[in-house]
């Protein structure tokens, strides 16, 4: 091969630099093991959340989750010790976000009863209504867990008691003459309506002939806090009628 031929076949300096730069960028873009683990963990949580929201804790196996993720079920044990730990991780990751948003709203909205309930309810309605499919699945899961005695109640105690007690504290300030038991009953009725809304069963669609839709969280926001505030004020003001004589 002549010198001219060798020169023609040898890449130009600029081409070499571009090639080296490309290789360097490729190496930089390659995710680390920690990043790969985090990405896989999120995928597992997403798919498990979907299945748990439909079938509950006992209606889903690790094999079911692995099949949706597209991995062998033994790999899941590398990320989570067992199904219970996976379920707790699924539930907890949304609860943390919901609690932070709620608590911040409650601290900033220290006014009338309806305002406090707007802060408590609307933050959740925004997250679960506008957060996409994953928050939709999480809302259904929360509704399912909230209606499960024993372990479901324990999970709500663990994750949500501080926020609920903060709401009760603010309601006491707004209604200083109210009996404490009435405030807790008011919360009980409020959270029941919220959980039914998050479940999105579609029942109200059928009952109303399409006038009201369980997916219409905007309509819920316009009504729920005002409705619940009026109810709480009513049971707190009508003491003699609402509460039986205990003597």
High-pLDDT (> 70) share of the chain, %: 83
Q: How far apart are CA 44 and CA 71, in angstroms?
A: 10
Position 201 pLDDT exceeds 90: yes
pTM (whole model) above 0.85: no
Question: Residue 239: its pLDDT value, please?
Answer: 56
Mean of per-residue pLDDT scores for the chain: 86
Question: Residue 28: its pLDDT value, please?
Answer: 55
Closest CA to 26 of 34, 35, 18: 18
Q: Which residues contact 150 (CB under 8 A, 6 or more apart)?
A: none
Position 42 pLDDT exceeds 50: yes
124 alpha carbon, distance to own chain's centre: 8
Q: Are 183 and 175 in contact (CB under 8 A)?
A: yes
pLDDT in tens, 97-156: 999 999 999 988 756 788 899 999 999 999 999 999 999 999 999 999 999 988 999 999
Question: Residue 247: its pLDDT value, please?
Answer: 38
High-pLDDT (> 90) share of the chain, %: 71
pLDDT in tens, 170-197: 999 999 999 999 999 999 999 999 999 9
**CA gyration radius, the chain:** 27
Q: Which of the four pLDDT bands, split at 50, 70 and 90, describes residue 2?
A: very low
């Amino acid at each position: 091969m002549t010198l001219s031929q060798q020169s023609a076949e040898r890449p130009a300096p600029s081409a070499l630099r571009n090639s080296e730069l490309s290789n360097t960028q490729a190496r930089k873009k390659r995710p680390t093991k920690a990043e790969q683990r985090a990405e896989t963990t999120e995928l597992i949580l997403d798919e498990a959340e979907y299945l748990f929201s439909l079938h509950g804790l006992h209606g889903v196996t690790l094999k079911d989750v692995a099949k949706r993720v597209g991995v062998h079920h033994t790999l899941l044990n590398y990320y989570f010790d067992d199904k219970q730990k996976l379920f707790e991780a699924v539930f907890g990751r949304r609860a943390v976000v919901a609690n932070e948003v709620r608590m911040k709203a409650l601290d900033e909205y220290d006014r009338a009863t309806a305002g406090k309930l707007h802060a408590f309810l609307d933050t959740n309605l925004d997250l679960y209504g506008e957060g996409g499919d994953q928050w939709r699945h999480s809302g259904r899961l929360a509704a399912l867990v909230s209606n499960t005695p024993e372990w479901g109640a324990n999970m709500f105690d663990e994750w949500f008691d501080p926020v609920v007690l903060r709401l009760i504290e603010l309601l006491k300030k707004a209604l200083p003459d109210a009996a404490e038991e009435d405030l807790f009953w008011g919360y009980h009725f409020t959270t029941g309506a919220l959980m039914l809304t998050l479940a999105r069963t579609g029942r109200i669609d059928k009952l109303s002939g399409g006038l009201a839709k369980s997916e219409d969280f905007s309509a819920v926001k316009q009504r729920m806090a005002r409705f619940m505030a009026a109810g709480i004020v009513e049971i707190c003001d009508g003491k003699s009628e609402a509460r039986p004589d205990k003597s």
